[in-house]
Amino acid sequence: MKLEEIILRGTRASQPAAASTAIGAVYYVTDESVTERNTGAAWEDISDGGSGISDGDKGDITVSGSGATFTIDNDVVTDAKLRNSAAVSVIGRSANSTGDPADIAAAADDRVLARTASSLAFQQLTVGMAPDGVWTYAKLQDISAASKLLGRGSAGGSGDTEEITIGSGLSMSGTTLSASASGSAAWTEITSVSSGSGTEVTFTSSLNYNEIMVVLVGVTTGSSANIRMQISTNSGVSYLNSSGDYQTVTNTGIETADTLVPFHSGVSTSARTSWLKIQNFNGTTAVKLVECPISNGASNTLTARIPTTSALNAIRVFPSSGNFNNGGTIKVYGRG
């Protein structure tokens, strides 16, 4: 066998088939700088001792630098070729530094991916995430009924916004809130009840007015008695009944400490009609003034002073002794 039969040279296009060439023959591919050996079935690359790979596009990888550099082609790595991720997570870098990516997992529902305190994580919204003025009225929750205000009730302390009911002396027309001057509005009947046969009649609801008037109409008692009134600052749990809780005033201007306010003078079983009007009933900045047409002999004059500055919220009407005798009606009015 001649040397030129086992050491060949030429282009890839002129390379003879392996089957028609002597086994062990060597062929140098001049246009690729590759040396190959015939195995009898195929040409085998033996460049650099058979351990190297020639430069060129190998499909999804490009080889360069005489086989020293392998570069993955753009957009050829599929999702399936990546490593597995943690459940409900994204791949990224949570720390505010350069480094390896890692799973950023959402540990609970109703979380968003956000940067806070220079760190990236799934978390609930914070105040800082909402720009000023971005929330519209339409994004707020619906109010339960018409003619409501939003605020915080006096007994609630600090906390969530609440619905505020419009009380007496205020009215809502469209989106306009109007207030009536104290004492100038018409009286509104809150309730009207029979005096019954018990030892007292109490009123503990719907008394959110600046002025309250309690009217006796033909009320009778089972025994000779004087009909009286006491008020409460704790919704009727107890009533002010200590000496000095009320200061009755004579028509000469003399005050006397008392435990109640009478509707009339004297005692009797006869039907009595009278009234007491309390000013600043639900106020918290001044004492309460009580007027009666007959208790001191002068019409519509000051007859008592209630020193408390707490808002009043319940009324007790009772005879000085015995029971009511199923006669007459007790009415309560409010205004302002």
Contact 187, 334 (CB under 8 A): yes
Q: Say whether both 155 and 253 belong to one domain.
A: no
What contacts 198, CB < 8 A, 6 or more positions away? Answer: 323, 324
The residue among 321, 311, 325 whose CA lies nearest residue 281 is 311
**Is 279 in the same domain as 312?**
yes
- Per the rule left: phi > 0, alpha: psi between -120 and 50, beta: everything else, 55 is beta
Q: Tell me the percentage of the chain whose pLDDT exceeds 90.
A: 48
164 plus 99 within the same structural domain: no
Instruction: Tokens for 264, please give them.
Output: 């009339």
Same domain, yes or no, for 300 and 224?
yes
pLDDT tens digits along 241-275: 999 999 988 777 788 899 999 998 889 999 999 99
Whether the per-residue pLDDT at 52 is higher than 70: the answer is no
Please indicate, yes or no, whether residues 198 and 289 belong to a single structural domain of this protein. yes
Query: Quick one: 109 and 219 in the same domain?
Result: no
Distance CA 266, CA 258 (A): 16
- Quote the pLDDT of residue 300: 47
- Let me know if residue 181 belongs to a domain: no
81-127 pLDDT tens trace: 888 999 999 999 999 999 999 999 999 999 999 999 999 999 998 88
CA gap 236, 204 in Å, rounded:
6
183: left (phi over 0), alpha (psi -120 to 50) or beta: left
Mean pLDDT of the chain: 86
60 occurs within a structural domain: no
What pLDDT sits at residue 13? 93
In-domain check, residue 77: no
Distances from the Cα of 230 to the Cα of 214, 236, 240, 308, angstroms = 11, 10, 6, 13
Tokens of 287: 């004492």
* Helix (H) or strand (E) run with residue 3 in it: helix 3-6
Q: Please indicate, yes or no, whether residues 257 and 300 belong to a single structural domain of this protein.
A: yes
CA-to-CA dists, residue 25 to 6, 37, 190, 282, angstroms = 4, 6, 119, 115
As a whole number of angstroms, the distance between CA 183 and CA 227 comes to: 26
Do 290 and 218 share a structural domain?
A: yes
What is the structure's pLDDT at 58?
Answer: 78
Q: Is residue 67 part of a domain?
A: no
- Direct distance between the N- and C-terminal alpha carbons of the chain, in angstroms, rounded to an integer: 128
Q: Specify the pairing of strand 227-232 against strand 261-262.
A: antiparallel
Mean pLDDT of 45-49: 72
Both 303 and 164 in one domain: the answer is: no
Q: Say how far apart CA 247 and CA 297 lie, in whole Å.
A: 17
Mean pLDDT of 27-50: 84
Instruction: Check residues 185 and 72 and name the one with the higher pLDDT.
Output: 72
Which residues form the domain of 7?
A: 3-51
- Residues 194, 327 within the same domain: yes
Across the beta sheet with 43-45, the strand order is 7-10, 26-29, 34-38, 43-45
On whether both 108 and 199 belong to a single domain, the answer is: no
Residue 200 has pLDDT above 60, yes or no: yes
Q: How far is CA 27 from the centre of its chain?
A: 82
| pLDDT level of residue 184 (50, 70, 90 thresholds) | low
Residues 24, 27, 33, 39: is their CA dihedral positive or negative?
negative
Determine, yes or no, domain membership for 97: yes
Q: Is residue 7 in some structural domain?
A: yes
Mean pLDDT over 163-188 rounds to 75
Specify if 26 maps to a domain: yes
Which three-class secondary structure state does DSSP give residue 225? Answer: strand
Task: Please report the pLDDT score of residue 8 as a whole number.
Answer: 84
Q: Which residues pair with 317 in a beta bridge?
A: 201, 229
Reported as a single tens digit per residue, the pLDDT across 140-170 is 888 888 888 888 877 667 888 888 888 766 7
Return the exposure string of 299-311: e unless at least 16 CB atoms fall within 10 Å of the residue's CB, then b. Answer: eeeebbebeeeeb
Pairing label, strands 26-29, 7-10: parallel
Domain membership flag for residue 28 = yes
Instruction: Flag whether the pTM goes above 0.75.
Output: no
Question: How high is the pLDDT of residue 265?
Answer: 82
Grouping H, G, I as helix, E, B as strand and the rest as coil, residue 165 is strand
CA-nearest of 228, 199, 214, 197 to 327 is 197
Q: Are 124 and 192 found together in one domain?
A: no
Q: What pLDDT does 293 receive?
A: 73
What total number of domains does the chain contain? 4
